[in-house]
Structure 1
Amino acid sequence: MRILIPIKRVIDYNVKARVRADGSGVDLSNVKMSMNPFDEIAVEEAIRLKEKGQAEEVVVVSVGVKQAAETLRTALAMGADRAILVVAAEDVHQDIEPLAVAKILKAVVDQEQPRLVIAGKQAIDNDMNATGQMLAALLGWGQATFASRLVIEGDAARVTREVDGGLQTIEVKLPAIVTADLRLNEPRYASLPNIMKAKKKPLEEKTAADYGVDVSPRLEVVTTREPEGRQAGIKVGSVDELVGKLKEAGVI
């Protein structure tokens, strides 16, 4: 079985995002970038399935700017077998919208013929949580989102997913789309020898035009601004005073 993992290059989660001076978006100049954490979990899960003998090949794909090649090399160092980079933008500030990404991924799936696609449930930069679902719709495949556990049983995937009421276990027939939640696993660190080996692993470069997909944005960012700072709280001297303040605020 071949597993395909879409990954995205995002601002490192330890970095505080800054808004550009003209308010046109988040400033990505001279900012540390890394693999989207949920995508990293997806890569780890695919590698574990390969180590169990349930997959023969793990392929990672990224859609974006050329600099995403570094992110793909990280996935190769973790244990992925090969990578595909689809260059769809020249400017690092241009974010490819989920529908365009899903269309490109569908074309990649048609070529690679994986039995399973594991994606992160969302990217931490725009939090859209849409690409996996859109890809499933375009392919006509079953989908299991927010997976906290994944077990492959024959021609089906048994997925435990986190819902508001607790945990829900479903079964989807392969081929299928699974999106990874935070508690699916803890990704490994790439060792130095594997980082060196990753430099020799195949990384194929394509463009959006190669797949006949128009990545022109359908959405326009009108303005971006920093969230307002929290106002200082107050101390109350009694329960009655607390209730009064809550009533003033319209909480109760």
Structure 2
Amino acid sequence: MTSIDLNADLGESYGAWTLGDDRSMLELVTSANVACGFHAGDPSGLLATVRQAAAHRVSIGAQVSYPDLRGFGRRALDLPPADLMADVVYQLGALQGLATASGTRVAYLKPHGALYNRVVHDELQAAAVVEAVLAVDATLPIVGLPDSEIGRLAEAEGLRFVPEAFADRGYRSDGSLVPRSEAGAVLHDPDEIGERMLRLAAEGVITAVDGTELPLSAETICVHGDTPGAVRIARTVRDALEASGLTVAPFAVR
């Protein structure tokens, strides 16, 4: 590996409520997973984030979600696949409009929260997301967990699938993320996180919560914008990767 992408979930403030520090994160990441209004983000705030991303030449991804503002998109919803497909098309269209108004474009798609975890194993929900991408723009890569249903279905349909690793999340031995309701789900020590990501990039291995050495292939690393200390974590991860000789660069061109 000579290069890797660093992404963050951004655009998650809503009205008078500020979540995360988008401006500072956009100085560090190479890709921005921008909320599309279903789990977070209001139009004016999203437009500001997209414009800032464009100014920093950061690639923009549509972070699509279940319609769950109250639960921040982290509650599983049993939507019929046809409804989910339409929801994803709607969110993609909204962010594309904001990107066009900012002189840039949506470069990829990444599910958020409960939807992200659901499409790892749920073939019907994963197929609905893939169908939506095919209907809107079949050149868009999809980001997700390695060895997932959405990855398998995306590649079967000729879409590019980009496997992802999480800097600030704990892993189970099967490669899934530790649920946020359990101990060890979210990591906070920037130095520990930086070392974990450096080992991931160099050896393709990460240590699961039970001590298992988990083989993991990733083209992009995520730092959640709402994690406490996210800016310091992102800076530490980027510095560690670059100090090792890796180039931190977007996987998708704007």
Larger helix percent: 2
Larger of the two Rg values belongs to structure: 1
Question: Please, what TM-score do these two structures have when normalized by structure 1?
Answer: 0.34
Question: Please, what TM-score do these two structures have when normalized by structure 2?
Answer: 0.34
Larger strand percent: 1
